[in-house]
Structure 1
């Protein structure tokens, strides 16, 4: 059994706490025995070696933002937080590259490189509390995925500590690096089941000169969907395009009538490009008998963080994410609305329209009977999504619901490959046991 003095000998007494002292690191009701905050990569490795020898189950974490995602853990003996590893180790503005410790938050990183007119164009939940290691581990994304891609598009190298304390590196510090296998794509999105990321090497981008947000709202859902499809088929390159149900628009305080569906289109580029795209959008909307309303800067600055954090609104206790082909986004929205409205309150729907990702969040009474009913409804919806070659993931839910349905769903033939990778990197199943897909 773990002893405080063994961990304190590695990280220092002040950086070891009992699990009941930090509620942020409770994982689906399972309280760890200890939480540690290593200050160096060597300390991470030493803690993992000790955990491996003792057979302790370890949950990697940053600030604890992502611990609500995933199945309930089989057990949690130790949480290792990387938040003390927050240094920017190397930054070359001329090369648009940086090497950053995994515990540095996206907000902190962008604030630093923003002084050079650059940024990492990702918008995960609450970037000031989202560490770069955690963003990479769960492949977190938001509405900017449309215009700028995913975190794996920016990772050019990783440093990671395996379950037994061995240090491994992937990629490099330059954008063009062809040596060895591309393990970055393997580790990004692996949910901390293959190792703990301690350093991320990134390529960054110049910050856009300007931006503009346009709002189009209407009672005519079909017309709005047709407009969204027309924008997708045009030469326009929006950074984000979000479809909001009437209730979601109210929840996010979008300035449109309460009964109307809203479409938000965001452009980020040079001044001439943004001006052209706004005018072009107005013309496309007019052809569909719709009106475009440009939002002023204060409204836009307040609105987009709310859209970004939609899935973790404190008033809700339940969020699902459906991923389908972009052409099926409208169909997926229709699929979710009525079945979920019957079992949840205050249901709001938001779609990253051209990415084919739909978020649904609401509130329900987590009694045994309601959890059983909702779990069965989600199985039915998951099957319907699979018929569209899509998936349904439960991003956030009470533990009582998670115990009745796998939050990830079936992954098909890839399950065996993922189990084989887990066996290769963590044969004793000590990292995040049971929390990821296929029971990994």
Structure 2
């Protein structure tokens, strides 16, 4: 190509990939192997000592996974990426590089229920403490900062409510505090929002959702924006101090603007071990090729369904940022002008019982705990994904007892509306 920068759809198909040099295969091969042969003893030593890049063992890296990593990094505008076994695994690997026992990180209250549970309970065993802030009150993030704060974590589009987070405003708080901003971009995908463009230092995805897009493969990914100085202030010794296992290398000094991605690979993935299967990487790569087409259809359908529900007499309210009347519509126009996503919630006048009843009466929508599928999905969060929270916390996270979450697929919108209409009527 010329000096022209490829567009998003071109990157979604081509970034990171070349025809296989041995066979000429156009699709990225599945390198289904545990390990890789070294050229000689010196080559092996240089790989293990981080003096050369290459493949050692699929737990640390794999050529199929490398194409996926390069592609998502290109789509997000980052310097490098690391693919792992799930979105949850990605969050563990990220925070392992940033936090020591007793440290804190600030997280937005409006998060996926599994993340709330992981942050509140599982991370306590590592001595990592979460402090909650309200994404609708930017000052609450400022108030939450202490000398022990090492990161701020938000979702670009919050799960389950579909609310839009003011990334730039929270980035300003993170900069002032001298800590990185981590943005979970799962519900938006880089097609709708690129958090790095708005001040994010690290982007994380559950690849299982919109990037893979077909509900067939688990995966997670960490994207390094290359924007944070890990040596400043001595807050992040994993990156700034000599690493004894690598003969005293300082990762920030050696790897510069992709040091965080390297740390996640050679310190996190190496020792924690949540490796992504090359087969799953292949499936997710195939899904990403159609990401722009799918996201357009997802958003078109979601807006039509939200408009239908907003006018239905059994519905108390609809929370979808794509509706002009929604409180997040202005933020959606700023951050996601191509569409407000495909996941949103609505409240039923019949409360908890009506929500539970509705999901059992839908026929085209699948009742399951996932989002971002080509198929339309439904769940009642208060009785499932957010059931571990008390009632007050459920409401604060956007998962009150009367709330139903939809993930709108790419079917014909008329069929989706007809299914909701019959279920609401019943």
Same fold (TM over 0.5): no
Query: What TM-score does the superposition give when structure 2 sets the normalisation length?
Result: 0.29
Structure with greater strand share of residues: 1
